[in-house]
Amino acid sequence: MAEKTLEDLFHETLKDIYYAERKILKTLPKMARGAQDEKLKAAFEKHRDETEGQIERLQQVFEMIGKRPRAKTCDAIEGIVSEGEEILEEFKGTAALDAGLLAAAQAVEHYEISRYGTLHAWAEQLGYKDAAKLLKQTLDEESRTDEALTKLAEKAVNTAAQKKAA
């Protein structure tokens, strides 16, 4: 058996996040339709557009390292998305729905931030300077999305869910 390298690990993780982004792209419209708060709907729609760009960047990274863009099933994102779908079903029409959807979206963001942070560091270590720039751009986007979701939760969504429950 051949020795596995950091380059192999980078490629496998790239396939993982490529799968995750494509899964997220399919899921965001469902979340937007399910959201009751207009700002939350808009946040999901905005992130859907950003996700399309992130997928394009990943395709560029694959090309830069001489690999064909290929996805590998990401069990982590499958689980996170499944939890979000459960929230959509179990909390439909309730005051807590948006808070649950927002929390599920942040779980996705935190996963993506972790993956892109790792991929960025590995790209730099491997000397993939242009790939590192693209991965950093996506990492920054994901971080901004997480911050925006946090503000939305703190300023509106969580309070609305609590007020209606009280």
DSSP tag of 155? I
Domain count for the chain:
1
User: How many Cβ atoms are within 10 Å of 98's Cβ, its own excluded?
Assistant: 25
Residue 64 lies in a domain: yes
Element (H, E) at 65: none
Residue 1 lies in a domain: no
Q: How confident is the model at residue 166 (pLDDT cuts 50, 70, 90)?
A: low
Task: Read off the pLDDT of residues 117-150 as tens digits, 9 standing for 90 and up.
Answer: 999 999 999 999 999 999 999 999 999 999 999 9
Residue 164 lies in a domain: no
Say what the pLDDT of residue 134 is. Answer: 98
Question: Which CATH number characterizes residue 51's domain?
Answer: 1.20.1260.10
Q: Which of 115, 116, 106, 118 is nearest to 146 (CA)?
A: 106
Q: How confident is the model at residue 165 (pLDDT cuts 50, 70, 90)?
A: low
Task: Read off the pLDDT of residues 66-119 as tens digits, 9 standing for 90 and up.
Answer: 999 999 999 999 999 999 999 999 999 898 999 999 999 999 999 999 999 999
Q: What are the angstrom distances between the C-alpha of 91 and each of 32, 38, 56, 62, 80?
A: 15, 17, 34, 39, 16
Greatest alpha-carbon pair distance for the chain in Å reads 61
Residue 27 lies in a domain: yes
Contact assessment for residue 117 and residue 12, using Cβ atoms and an 8 Å cutoff: no
| C-alpha span between 156 and 52 (Å, rounded) | 27
Q: What are phi and psi of 95, to 5 degrees?
A: -65, -25
Average pLDDT, the chain: 95
Residue 35 lies in a domain: yes
Residue 114 lies in a domain: yes
Whether pTM exceeds 0.85:
yes
| Residue-number span of the structural domain to which 131 is assigned | 6-159
Residues in CB range of 35: below 8 A, 6 or more apart:
41, 44, 97, 98, 101
Coil, strand or helix at 37: coil
Residue 165 lies in a domain: no
Residue of 133 and 162 predicted with greater confidence: 133
Residue 62 lies in a domain: yes
Q: How confident is the model at residue 24 (pLDDT cuts 50, 70, 90)?
A: very high
Handedness of CA 55, 58, 59, 60 (dihedral sign): positive
